Structure 1
Amino acid sequence: MPRRLGVSVSALLSLSLAFPTFAEQKPLSVKEDAPTTYTVVKGDTLWDISAMYLDSPWLWPRLWQVNPDIDNPHLIYPGDRLSLIWRDGHPVLSLKPMVKLSPKVRVLEKEAVSTVNAGLVLPYIESDRLLSASELDASPRVLGASDGKKYLSNQGLLYISGEHQVKTWTIYRPLEEYQRDEHTVVALKKIATAELQESQPQFSGLNVVTQSQEVMVDDIALPDVDVEMHSLSTTFYPVPTPKESFANILGSLEGSQYVGQNQVVILDRGEKDQLRQGSMFELYSQGVEVSIEGDDSDDARLPDTRVGNLMVIRPYPYFSLALVTESTEPVGKETILKSPLIHESQ
Structure 2
Amino acid sequence: MTRYSYPLFAATLVCLLSLSTLARTQAPHLSIKQDAPKTYTVIKGDTLWDISSLYLDSPWLWPRLWQVNPSIENPHLIYPGDKLNLVWRNGQPMLSLKPMVQLSPKVRKEPKKAISTVREELVLPYLQSDRLIEADELKMAERVVGASNGSRYLTGTNQLYISGQHTISHQHIDSRWGIYREMSTFDVDDKKVVALKKVAEGKIISVHDDLSALKITTQHQEIMAGDVALNDLDRDSALISTTFYPQPATTEGVVEILGSLEGSQYVGLHGVVIVSAGNEQGLVQGSMYELYQAGATSTIEKNQFQLPSSLVGHLMIIRPYSQYSLALVTQAVAPVGVGLELRTPLETVDK
Shorter-chain TM-score bucket reads 0.7 to 0.9
* Match in the other structure for 1:266: 274
CA contact (8 A) 2:83 2:100 kept: yes
Distance apart, 1:217 and its partner CA: 0.9
- Provide, for residues 17-73 of structure 1, a one-character-per-residue CA deviation record: whole Å limited to 9, x for no partner: xxx999521221111111111000111111110011000000000001025797753
Once the two structures are superposed, the pairs formed by residues 48-197 of structure 1 within 5 Å of their partners are 48-67=50-69, 73-99=75-101, 109-127=111-129, 129-165=131-167, 166-197=174-205
Q: Match of 1:54, as an amino acid?
A: L
Identical-pair percentage: 54
* Match in the other structure for 1:290: 298
Match of 2:341 among 333, 336, 346: 336
* Match in the other structure for 1:315: 320
CA contact (8 A) 1:271 1:316 kept: yes
Aligned length: 320
Distance apart, 1:100 and its partner CA: 5.7
* Match in the other structure for 1:27: 29
- Provide, for residues 254-283 of structure 1, a one-character-per-residue CA deviation record: whole Å limited to 9, x for no partner: 222111111110111112211111111001
Match of 1:304 among 306, 309, 320: 309
- Provide, for residues 222-280 of structure 1, a one-character-per-residue CA deviation record: whole Å limited to 9, x for no partner: 12237654454111121111274531111111222111111110111112211111111
Q: Match of 1:179, as an amino acid?
A: D
Match of 1:134, SS state, is helix
Hey, what's the Cα distance between the residues in 1 that align with 2:309 and 2:348? Answer: 11
CA contact (8 A) 2:86 2:93 kept: yes
Q: Match of 1:80, as an amino acid?
A: D
Distance apart, 1:342 and its partner CA: 7.9
Hey, what's the Cα distance between the residues in 1 that align with 2:147 and 2:43? Answer: 49
* Match in the other structure for 1:240: 248
Tell me which moved more, 119-128 or 329-338.
119-128
Q: Match of 1:189, as an amino acid?
A: K
* Match in the other structure for 1:325: 330
* Match in the other structure for 2:16: none
- Provide, for residues 197-234 of structure 1, a one-character-per-residue CA deviation record: whole Å limited to 9, x for no partner: 21233011112222222111110011223765445411
Match of 2:300, SS state, is coil
Hey, what's the Cα distance between the residues in 1 that align with 2:80 and 2:268? Answer: 29
Distance apart, 1:187 and its partner CA: 0.5
- Provide, for residues 72-120 of structure 1, a one-character-per-residue CA deviation record: whole Å limited to 9, x for no partner: 533110000001111111111111000269xxxxx99320111111222
Q: Match of 2:269, as an amino acid?
A: Q
Hey, what's the Cα distance between the residues in 2 that align with 1:318 and 1:73? Answer: 27
Hey, what's the Cα distance between the residues in 1 that align with 2:81 and 2:203? Answer: 39
**Rg bigger for which structure?**
2
- Distance change >3 Å, CA 70–CA 21, structure 1 → 2: farther
Match of 1:158, SS state, is strand
- Distance change >3 Å, CA 193–CA 88, structure 1 → 2: same
CA contact (8 A) 1:45 1:113 kept: yes
Q: Match of 2:285, as an amino acid?
A: Q
CA contact (8 A) 2:251 2:281 kept: no
Hey, what's the Cα distance between the residues in 1 that align with 2:52 and 2:27? Answer: 18
CA contact (8 A) 1:24 1:345 kept: no
Structure 1 spans left out of the alignment, 5+ residues:
1-19, 102-106
Q: Match of 2:221, as an amino acid?
A: Q
TM-score, scaled relative to structure 1: 0.85
Hey, what's the Cα distance between the residues in 1 that align with 2:87 and 2:195? Answer: 46
Match of 1:66, SS state, is coil
Q: Match of 1:53, as an amino acid?
A: Y
Hey, what's the Cα distance between the residues in 1 that align with 2:255 and 2:25? Answer: 28
CA contact (8 A) 1:284 1:305 kept: yes
Hey, what's the Cα distance between the residues in 1 that align with 2:226 and 2:316? Answer: 33
Tell me which moved more, 75-84 or 121-130.
121-130
Hey, what's the Cα distance between the residues in 1 that align with 2:128 and 2:78? Answer: 23
- Distance change >3 Å, CA 150–CA 80, structure 1 → 2: same
Structure 2 spans left out of the alignment, 5+ residues:
1-21, 104-108, 168-173
Q: Match of 1:271, as an amino acid?
A: N
